[in-house]
Copies of this chain bind each other. A is one copy, B any other.
């Protein structure tokens, strides 16, 4: 799918990977609707990114809030919403049993699933219902630009998982369950939504430069970097965003998860 002129919803767009995604999409000529529950950040981002980017406050754990945000998005960009990038998410580091053999709080486990897994699915199902009603984009025609011409597709959803889905570390049972859930639902969602010419892909990022990461103890940062093949640095938001737009552009990418991690594998702590 071509990016310029189309509208994309980005959840969690007020910070980190979501923010980098909004920037790149706007730079490439798209309109962006940024959904986030952090109003302060959301507003300052839209102030920075200009009129192509609109902020709508939204909590992805509330179906009501999502419904309202999508309705508003449609009004702002009638018949033009072609994609969704699900960056809203939250981590967690809680041992299944702590040193005193006390079990993991079950509320926290549920909370982490609610934002990352249920939230991602809830925004996706409601956005795909909107996209499915749009006319398909132009057919792919060999020799006339192929992939750029669209493949008859209606839209594309990009989810965000994590390496924790594959090699969750100590303390990541909840987060790995949540992101494993996102990885697991990618193919059946692609199969379901393929009937409506909508693609579904997932990105599993390694360790990206975020306030959380750069605030971590030097020893923790070194430990993470030692496990990386190359470059032995944290990822940049632009690199994540580049992968998002590569996926949007390439109609034959569907139903799978891509690791972007500089060759890292998460070790036992």
Residues in chain A within 8 A of chain B (CB atoms): 63, 95-97, 101-104, 106, 109-110, 113, 117-118, 121-122, 124-126, 128-129, 132-133, 140, 142, 145-147, 151-153, 164-185, 187-199, 206, 209, 226-233, 235-240, 242-243, 246, 249-256, 258-269
Contact = CB atoms under 8 A, between A and B. Distances in A.
Contacts of A189: 96, 173
A168 B180 CA distance: 13
A103 to B, nearest CB: 4
A243 to B, nearest CB: 6
Nearest to A157: B96
A242 B246 CA distance: 8
Nearest to A178: B181
Nearest to A96: B192
A147 to B, nearest CB: 5
Closest 9 interchain pairs by CB? Answer: A180-B184, A255-B263, A194-B230, A168-B188, A146-B238, A246-B246, A194-B229, A103-B125, A96-B192
Most chain B Cβ neighbours within 10 Å, of A97, A109, A175:
A97
B242 A249 contact: yes
A237 B179 CA distance: 30
B239 A254 contact: no
B261 A256 contact: yes
A156 B180 CA distance: 22
A226 to B, nearest CB: 7
A33 to B, nearest CB: 18
A122 B153 CA distance: 40
Given A181-B180, A236-B142, A250 B243 contact: yes
